[in-house]
Amino acid sequence: MLDLPRSARLAAWGTGVLTGRVPVAGAVAAVVRDDEPHGVRWEDDAGAGPGAGTGDLAGLLGALAGSAAGAGAGGGLDRLLLVLPVPGDPRGLPGPAAVNVAALEAGECVLLEPAAGPGGEPGGGRRWALVPQVTEFGSVWEPGALVRWDVHAAAPRRVPESSGVAESEQELRVALATATRALSTLDVARWREEAADRIAAVRDGGLVRDALPPGFAPRALRVAQTAARVLAIVDLATEDDGAAITSLEATSRAAALREVGAVARRALVAAVNAPAEDAAGRV
């Protein structure tokens, strides 16, 4: 089965909490899974925000839900947005520098910001970035993870994500074909027997049941699943160069996989953020 990063699950399920579609307990269970209970730490620059006095994810989401309910229909509801930055592609990061560095190191973060106005203009009020710090322990047979969400003060996004779900779906078709060809050419199953099951799971599997909350739009769900598949293929195909491959072939494949990985990250961000962005007037 395919899965999504913790930040993707927090953004999707957290938005469900803010819109009243899912309970806090259900969202926490979907984000935490088999991890130890997730902690929350407010950095010195974050100031006082919803849930600043809480130390765990349940307290934070509960405080956000209360803040959203108190805002009523005035358009002041907070929203959770996914960002998946990598070195060389910091798209979606808001700044300041400390936030961007932490998010790039983690490879993921969630932005908490006021909903945009009716015309799509940025909402007023403070913004925060939630960056996961993950410490893994145990063994391959009994893995475990300690997760703490560090909350930083964030600036408004300078360049919001430009791709919508429909555009991302079109781009993903090409990316999936390219990634699949790269994996077939590499043929890792032939020279690494332990990879055969992983390849089968990537090619045939769907998203795990609780990766996204109930009621997710069918197209956004489809895009998220395809993006997760492409990213999993890229991970597999870049673990090794494989047998009998020239330096030129390896360089060419790496460049192609970097591009399809970027397409998949943008598509996953568009799919996960679709409910929050649609609420701000985007299609």
Residue range 126-171, pLDDT digits in tens: 889 999 999 999 887 888 899 999 999 998 876 656 578 888 888 8
Going through 103-215 in order, the beta strands assigned E by DSSP cover 109-114, 127-138, 143-154
| 269 pLDDT tier (thresholds 50, 70, 90) | very high
CA distances from 149 to 22, 25, 85, 140 (A): 21, 17, 17, 24
Which of 160, 183, 200 is the C-terminal boundary of a domain? 160
Whether residue 141 sits in one domain with residue 46: yes
Domain termination site, one of 108, 138, 160: 160
- Looking at the structure, do residues 104 and 14 belong to the same domain, yes or no? yes
Q: What are the two backbone dihedrals, phi and then psi, of residue 7, each rounded to the nearest 5 degrees?
A: -65, -35
Beta-bridged to residue 128, according to DSSP, are 112, 153
Do 134 and 254 lie in a common domain? no
Is the domain of 111 the same as that of 89?
A: yes
Q: Is 238 helix (H, G, I), strand (E, B) or coil?
A: coil
pLDDT at 11: 96
Q: Residue range 79-103: average pLDDT?
A: 91
- Confidence (pLDDT) at 282: 42
pLDDT band of 229, cuts 50, 70, 90: confident
The structural domain count of the chain equals 2
The mean per-residue pLDDT over the stretch 5-28 comes to: 94
Q: Domain for residue 276, yes or no?
A: no
Range with the lowest mean pLDDT among 5-9, 48-52, 201-205? 201-205
The rounded mean pLDDT for the chain is 81
40 and 155 belong to one structural domain: yes
Co-location of 17 and 150 in the same domain: yes
Q: What percent of the chain clears pLDDT 70, i.e. is strictly above it? A: 76
* 230 within a domain of the structure (yes/no): yes
Range of the domain at 110: 6-160
Instruction: Report the phi/psi class of residue 187: left, alpha or beta, with left for phi > 0 and alpha for psi in -120 to 50.
Output: left
In angstroms, the Cα distances linking 255 to 65, 201, 248, 250 are 43, 25, 11, 9
SS3 string, 163-180, reads CCHHHHHHHHHHHHHHHH
Whole-number pLDDT of residue 61: 92
Domain boundary among 143, 160, 177: 160
154 and 17 inside one domain: yes
pLDDT at position 195, please? 61
Same domain, yes or no: 153 and 35: yes
Query: Is position 58 within any domain?
Result: yes
